[in-house]
Chain A
Amino acid sequence: MSEVLLASEGMTRRFGGLTANQNVNIQLERGVLHALLGPNGAGKSTCINMLSGDLPPSEGAIRYKGEDITGLTAYQRSRIGIGRSYQRTNIFPKFTVLENCRLAAQSRKPRPWSLFTDALRMPEAVERARAAINEAGLSGREDRVAGTMSHGEQRQLEIAMVLATDAEVLLLDEPLAGMGSEESAQMVTLLNRLKATRAILLVEHDMDAVFAVADRITVMVNGQVLESGSPEQIRNSPDVQAAYLGHEAEHE
């Protein structure tokens, strides 16, 4: 059994009369890519937002390496090693790729009081940024202005920024959204590489990709966990087939 980094216990979120997440228990382990599946409105985004601290849960607890972090804000969670990417590309479009990642890396040792330091020459942050750019497969594009790159490259940058923060837990919200098949394949390779040393939660619609990379899959429907298990278990679960896979198939 590998090391559990992030876990939710009875995590619940209500918006007025609507229960967007009910009693969600999810465990993210180092070396494991955990995929979160579900139709639109199933509560996947609510779940990832509570794990990242963007949204406080109404009930339940979230633990990181055994410690209760339910009360921590998004930036505090980032500081302890929980990084997230966004479904809608959320970068600094006018900055270069390097500056996007350098800014992300700077957050580890922010040094806001060192007035006489040239931020662009902080060796540690620049090195970490370059390493993250290489790891995310963007080498050679350091000086491109982020907003002028292709959609796929921007999605890679989104991940590079999380890597530059040295996150141990990656919460990735639909990193494959809007990607072409070649770009998707690259991203799948990247995800496979990243999970070796980290815990990853992958929220994704692309079923082929999910079954290609996930070690565990949790299926959510109507704010509740329907089933959680290995890809094999999920594929053969009659409940999942009825609720989700069948539903998906109708559209194809």
Chain B
Amino acid sequence: MNSRTTTFFKLAVMAGVLAFPVFGSDFYAEMIAKVMILAIFAMSLDLLVGFTGLVSFGHAAYFGIAAYAVALLTPKYDPANLWLALPASVLAAAVAAFVIGLFVLRTKGIYFIMVTLAFAQMAYYVFHDTPVGGGSDGIYLNFKPDAAIAGWAPFDLNEPLHLYYFVVAAMLFAYGLLKLVLRSPFGRVLVGIRSNEHRMLSLGYATFRYKLAAFTLAGALAGLAGFLYAVLFGFVTPEYLSWHKSGDVLLMVILGGMGNLAGAIAGAVALVGLQEIFTSVTKHWQLLMGLTIVAAVLFMPGGLTATPARIMARINGGKGNV
């Protein structure tokens, strides 16, 4: 696909997403909102995995910490204020990522994968085994945050339509922010670190600080996703921080194509879509899921976003145009 086709495709998808709740059912609107939230989550991980070369296997920790933050910040019989709860939740995730990053970024390769997992498991058990967040049952978020500013509410998250468009706006914000970051001098350094960290050091870059900043930003955006997820579904459980969740988001990134924000979105769509289809077919859906993922990794190296180009190359193969 050339860049004009790609842009057209993106705009068409965007138009479809914007128009959907007007025509489509509430059930599917909620599913699309869920996909968009997971897309934010996947894009935040792609900043680490695809652009900086840091394979984090504990990214659900930051998602879950922000989800718990909004649940714990919400009083029992009142809604929390959105403009306080949202930044506070994102900040909680960012602080957690910063502190954990200080430790885990001292390791590399397989050790990095293991220690990110270990820290995420620690966070998981904090919520699972202590009464802080209702233990293994989790807690309900009885009221969605209130968007009122000094008595005036520009929108109401209790309205499914408003919530839907709030999620759309959040996803566009995350996408736009990451695009800016990747274009900026900071982003170019991250890509350099992925390619050859040692050389970046000898060129005068304090690579540890760059990686820590990326890790913190990724944690903050995962937190944004976790916040929205808690608000959308109205409850929070320790499962939000579990390694399954970390694995799922990693799968989205791999399935969509690493190092490509659109790929992370495509991966979220694909994973949720497949889950939906397979669960409707059989209760042994995880078997189908596993086989599909193995097949995808085998036959679609580079992920979904690289596949059109590969198919075109195959078609044009005879003309020597690879």
Q: A interface vs B, CB < 8 Å? A: 52, 54, 73-75, 78-79, 83-84, 86, 90-95, 99, 103-104, 106-108, 110-120, 122, 161, 165
- CB neighbours (8 Å) of B251 from chain A are none
Of all chain A residues, which has the CB nearest B185? A119
Q: At the interface, yes or no: B106 with Cβ under 8 Å from chain A?
A: no
- A111 to B185 CA separation, bound complex (whole angstroms): 7
| A92 and B199 within 8 A (CB) | yes
Of all chain A residues, which has the CB nearest B198? A90
- CB neighbours (8 Å) of B202 from chain A are 52, 54, 74-75, 78, 83-84, 86, 90
**Nearest CB on B from A72, distance (A):** 11
Give chain A's interface secondary structure class: loop
- A92 to B184 CA separation, bound complex (whole angstroms): 18
**Nearest CB on B from A218, distance (A):** 22
The 8 A CB mask of B166-191 against A (1 = contact, 0 = none) is: 00000000000000110111111100
From B185, B206, B207, residue with most partner A Cβ within 10 Å = B185
Q: B interface vs A, CB < 8 Å? A: 180-181, 183-189, 192, 195-196, 198-207, 210, 213
- A94 to B187 CA separation, bound complex (whole angstroms): 16
From A83, A95, A112, residue with most partner B Cβ within 10 Å = A112
| A165 and B180 within 8 A (CB) | no
- A124 to B186 CA separation, bound complex (whole angstroms): 16
Known: A74-B202, A92-B196, A119-B188. 11 other contacts (CB 8 A): A75-B201, A75-B202, A78-B203, A86-B199, A86-B202, A90-B196, A103-B192, A110-B185, A112-B213, A116-B180, A116-B184
| A117 and B184 within 8 A (CB) | yes
Of all chain A residues, which has the CB nearest B213? A112
| B203 and A91 within 8 A (CB) | no
| B199 and A90 within 8 A (CB) | yes
| B185 and A91 within 8 A (CB) | no
Given contacts A79-B204, A103-B189, is CB(A114)–CB(B184) below 8 Å? yes
Given contacts A79-B204, A107-B203, A165-B204, is CB(A118)–CB(B183) below 8 Å? yes
- A83 to B199 CA separation, bound complex (whole angstroms): 11
| B196 and A91 within 8 A (CB) | yes
| B204 and A75 within 8 A (CB) | yes
| A106 and B189 within 8 A (CB) | yes
- A165 to B185 CA separation, bound complex (whole angstroms): 15
Which 5 A-B pairs have CB atoms at the shortest separation, nearest pair first? Answer: A78-B204, A107-B204, A119-B188, A119-B185, A112-B186
